[in-house]
Amino acid sequence: MSSSYKTQVEQREKDGPFYEDFKVGEVLRHSGGRTITDTDNIWFTLLTCNTNQIHYNKEYTEKYFANSPFDGRLVVNSLLVLSTVLGLSVNDTSKNGIMLGMREWKVTNPTFAGDTVHAESVVIAKRESKSHPSMGIVTVKTKGFKQKDTEVMEFERSFMVRKTNAEWK
């Protein structure tokens, strides 16, 4: 790794990425992961008033979802998984910005308590903001994975991010 590249990576990690730091096609492997627990799942599900018993009623899942891939296990609420995967990506993407929207979200495999979720994003587009000259708009495609690199979801997200040394105006 060249010293200039290492310096750029260190600066990005310290200050967060700015518009100029993003390169279309760049792959961002987000550090860290998050193991989701039954408590996380049940609290999130009840907090959001979700009444689907597959998230919090073990007897229900054992009766109606006994076969593979569920095997009678509680399924983690997909919005909790989405929030976790998105959260894991913030430090490398929108730390200096604000989310504008999401699209093309899909769940590709179920997540269960005890699964550890990781995330990876690819920069798929960027442009300067027309309404805020001190900002740019970046779009990433993010994927969430659990053990054995099993993909659990993917989505595209756009955010407005500051340019280097710029303030929100």
CATH number, position 24: 3.10.129.10
Output 10 or 144, whichever has higher pLDDT. 144
Output 82 or 14, whichever has higher pLDDT. 82
Examine residue 9 and state whether it is found in any structural domain, yes or no: no
What's the number of domains the chain is made of? 1
- To the nearest whole percent, how much of the chain has pLDDT over 70? 91
Mean pLDDT on 106-110: 97
Examine residue 143 and state whether it is found in any structural domain, yes or no: yes
Mean pLDDT on 65-74: 95
Examine residue 167 and state whether it is found in any structural domain, yes or no: no
Q: What integer pLDDT is reported at residue 2 of this predicted model?
A: 55
Question: Which residue's entry shows tokens 């955010």?
Answer: 159
Here the tokens at position 48 are 């959001």
E strands within 32-162? 34-35, 97-107, 116-128, 135-146, 150-162
Examine residue 168 and state whether it is found in any structural domain, yes or no: no
pLDDT-derived band of residue 43, with 50, 70 and 90 as boundaries? very high
Mean pLDDT on 104-115: 97
Strands 116-128 and 27-29: antiparallel
Which of 12-21, 91-100, 130-139, 148-157 shows the lowest mean pLDDT across its residues?
12-21
Examine residue 2 and state whether it is found in any structural domain, yes or no: no
Examine residue 39 and state whether it is found in any structural domain, yes or no: yes
pLDDT-derived band of residue 165, with 50, 70 and 90 as boundaries? confident
What does the alpha-carbon distance between residue 147 and residue 18 come to, in Å, rounded to a whole number?
31
Contact 151, 143 (CB under 8 A): yes
| 131 DSSP β-pair partners | none
Question: Which residue's entry shows tokens 């009840």?
Answer: 46
Examine residue 136 and state whether it is found in any structural domain, yes or no: yes
Q: What integer pLDDT is reported at residue 5 of this predicted model?
A: 45
- In sequence order, which ranges of the chain are alpha helices (DSSP H)? 3-15, 38-47, 58-64, 78-89
What does the alpha-carbon distance between residue 136 and residue 163 come to, in Å, rounded to a whole number?
7
Examine residue 10 and state whether it is found in any structural domain, yes or no: no
pLDDT-derived band of residue 138, with 50, 70 and 90 as boundaries? very high
Range of the domain at 70: 17-162
